[in-house]
């Protein structure tokens, strides 16, 4: 896929859905630790994590929040979306190697401010709910079809 497309406020319908998946790998944990500054050993130190209730390293909870935000920005409504608010409940830990699929469903539209309410669920490869919540966004007024910028290449150094 080499183009990004959005849905304008007028195109969006109640009940419209979208999905966005990403496998959370070792590199993602390192990157999220670097960008947030959260270097807790439950994320980074296998030996420490083995002694916690989780039994092994887990992803940062807000990494799932980042995937939900990406689903809104990339898929529904897509480019031009203004992020107004998000609620999140963290239900289950995400482990390294898990594939997280974000499921979005439009539940409300408000014409006055062009805002859209989106129910958000994130499930793992076993179908277990890892996080849920609700987003409020301002949907784009203008249709956009854009070349997709290249994903920055970043590696733990």
User: Site residues (CB under 8 A) for a copy of itself?
Assistant: 4, 20, 22, 28, 30-42, 44-45, 48, 52, 60-63, 65-70, 73-74, 79-80, 83-90, 146, 148-157
The vertex-80 CA angle with 77 and 84, nearest 5°, equals 75
Give me the least distance between CB of 112 and a copy of itself, in Å please.
Answer: 18
Are 54 and 98 a contacting pair, CB within 8 Å? no
Q: Is the peptide bond before 77 cis (omega within 30 degrees of 0)?
A: yes
Give least dist CB 95 to a copy of itself, A: 15
Beta carbon of residue 97, minimum distance to a copy of itself (angstroms, whole number): 15
Nearer to a copy of itself, 12 or 59 (CB): 59
Which of 14, 156 has the CB closer to a copy of itself? 156
Closest approach, Cβ 54 to a copy of itself, in A, equals 9
CA dist 29 to 14, 35, 140, Å? 35, 10, 32
- CB 12 within 8 Å of CB 27: no
Helix (H) or strand (E) holding 119: strand 115-123
Least CB distance from residue 11 to a copy of itself, whole Å?
Answer: 18
Query: Which of 12, 93 has the CB closer to a copy of itself?
Result: 93
Give SS3 for 100.
strand
Q: In terms of CB distance, is 1 or 15 closer to a copy of itself?
A: 1
Q: Which lies closer to a copy of itself via its Cβ, residue 31 or residue 119?
A: 31
Distance CA 77, CA 120 (A): 13
């Amino acid at each position: 896929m080499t183009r990004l497309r959005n849905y304008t406020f007028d195109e969006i319908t109640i009940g419209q859905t979208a999905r966005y998946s990403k496998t959370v790998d070792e590199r993602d944990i390192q990157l999220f630790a670097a960008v947030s500054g959260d270097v807790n050993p439950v994320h980074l130190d296998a030996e420490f994590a083995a002694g916690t209730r989780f039994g092994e390293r887990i992803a940062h909870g807000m990494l799932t929040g980042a995937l939900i935000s990406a689903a809104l920005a990339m898929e529904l409504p897509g480019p031009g979306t203004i992020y107004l608010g998000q609620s999140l409940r963290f239900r289950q830990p995400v482990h390294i190697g898990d594939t997280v699929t974000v499921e979005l469903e439009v539940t409300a539209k408000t014409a006055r401010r062009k805002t859209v309410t989106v129910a958000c669920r994130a499930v793992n490869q076993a179908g277990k709910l890892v996080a849920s919540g609700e987003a409020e966004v301002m949907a784009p007024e203008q249709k956009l079809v854009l070349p997709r910028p290249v994903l920055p290449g970043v590696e733990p150094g």
